[in-house]
Every structure is written in structure tokens, then in C-alpha cells.
Amino acid sequence: MYKTAIIVGASSGIGREVAKLLLADDWHIGVAARREEPLQEIKAIAPDRVEVMIIDVTKPDAGERLQSLIKRLGQIDLYFHASGIGKQNRTLVEDIELDTMETNALGFTRMIGIAYRYFTEKGEGHIAAISSIAVTKGLGPAPAYSATKALQATYLQALEQQAHQRGLNIRFTDIRPGFVDTALLNDDFPYPMLMHPEKVARDIVNSIYHHRHIRVIDWRYRILTFFWRLIPNWLWRRLKL
């Protein structure tokens, strides 16, 4: 029996690289995003093993479209959520904050909920999603991004506990990368310790295969977040980021 996955946010960056790696491992996949052309490029790699669906996670029909994609594939074993936005917003521009909330909070909750209910009915499955090292502390330059990533991590943790209490065979993997060289970082800020999306994707797929619960990528960020947690709030407030 072949393995089947859906990747939402597969048009670029980490999601696209994860899709390519799963195809290389003989998975059948459904790829979804707002832009169709990049998805068709993925389909061209293995036309008989890729289904394409246009999904904007902020739209009310996103859940129905995800369910339709599942039906096209017949069934799925893995749901991988790579859709998200994030910008520095030091002056708290309202549209940036609200767009981030709509995509990373409402859109995330909508799509994860569909996957969770599907796997509940199926009897098993794996939900993996990209949160961020920003879950560690609230980052002043990116308030909505920090808050929504913390929401995502807490939501996955809560669902994992709920699934265990209900006796459901649903696994969860919370992926927490640092700065990745993708279109998401398009504000010309000199981000430190940039990672390549191909390397991050390999780590993600390996983490999914090994059923990791939480994965901070890579070792430099594991050290960084360890020390972030030790900083008391009175000092964190005074740090210039």
C-alpha cells in the first residue's frame, strides 16, 4: 500500500521541498496553495502521483477544498501544514497584524481541524505543521507572528493530549525552524544563521518518519532557544532585537 500525504503551502519554500522529498520516497501526494502554476510544476515531476488543489486557508471554502482533495487521493496518512505568513511590524501596521492572524491562526485552526476530524474517523494518521522558534518568547519586531506561532504550538500540544485521552492513534509533529532562506523573509533584514530550505525539508521528513513530537531545526537554534527560555521577563523586555 502506497503512502499518501497532503501538503498545504506547497507552492514554495519548505512546503515545496518537502513535497519533492516525499515524491522521491514514492509517496502519492496532494499539493495545495493559492497559486496554481508552482503546484503544476510539482505535478510534472510525477503526474500519476500528484493531485493539485487551489486552497487559500483564509477563505471559508478552504475546508471543503481540503476534503475534496482527500477524496481525490482516496485517503491520506499524513497532513503537513506549511502555509503561513510573517513580517516584522515594528510600527504595528494594522493590516499586517490582522492578515497574519487570519492566516496563521484562523486558517491554521480551520485546516488542522479538518485533518484531525478526518484521522479520527479513519482511525489513524499523522499531523505535522511548521510553527517556529518564535514560540519560545514574544519577539517585539513581529508581534502577530510570535503570537500566532505560539497559538499553533499550543494547539498541536492540546490536540495531542486530547487524542491520547480519547485513545486515538493520531501522531503530531511540531516543526520549529529558525530563519530559513525563503520568500517569507523578503524585508531585506540581515537575518542571522540562515538555513537552506532543502536542508530544513530533509530534517522535517526525517522527523516525521521518526515520529518526533517537537523538532527545533537545527542545533544552533536548539542552543539559542534553550538560553532564551532562561532569560527572565524583566530582562527580555529590555533586549533590543
Residue by residue, pLDDT tens for the chain (241 residues) are 569 999 999 999 999 999 999 999 999 999 999 999 999 999 999 999 999 999 999 999 999 999 999 999 999 999 999 999 988 899 999 999 999 999 999 999 999 999 999 999 999 999 999 999 999 999 999 999 999 999 999 999 999 999 999 999 999 999 999 878 776 656 666 666 778 889 999 999 999 999 999 999 989 999 999 999 999 999 999 998 8
> Exposed, middle or buried, 24 (CB in 10 Å: 0-12/13-18/19+)?
exposed
Q: Name residues whose C-beta falls within 8 Å of residue 147's C-beta, 6 or more positions apart in sequence.
A: 101, 105, 138
Q: Name residues whose C-beta falls within 8 Å of residue 116's C-beta, 6 or more positions apart in sequence.
A: 127, 159, 163, 170
**Per-residue pLDDT at 181:** 72
Domain layout of the chain by residue ranges:
4-236
Task: Give pLDDT tens digits for 147-186.
Answer: 999 999 999 999 999 999 999 999 999 999 987 877 665 6
Q: In what helix (H) or strand (E) does residue 177 lie, and over which residues does it extend?
A: strand 169-177
**Per-residue pLDDT at 138:** 93
> What does pTM read for this prediction?
0.94
CATH of 4-236, one of 3.40.50.720, 3.40.640.10, 3.90.180.10, 3.40.718.10: 3.40.50.720
Buried b (16+ CB within 10 A) or exposed e, 202-211: ebbbebbeee
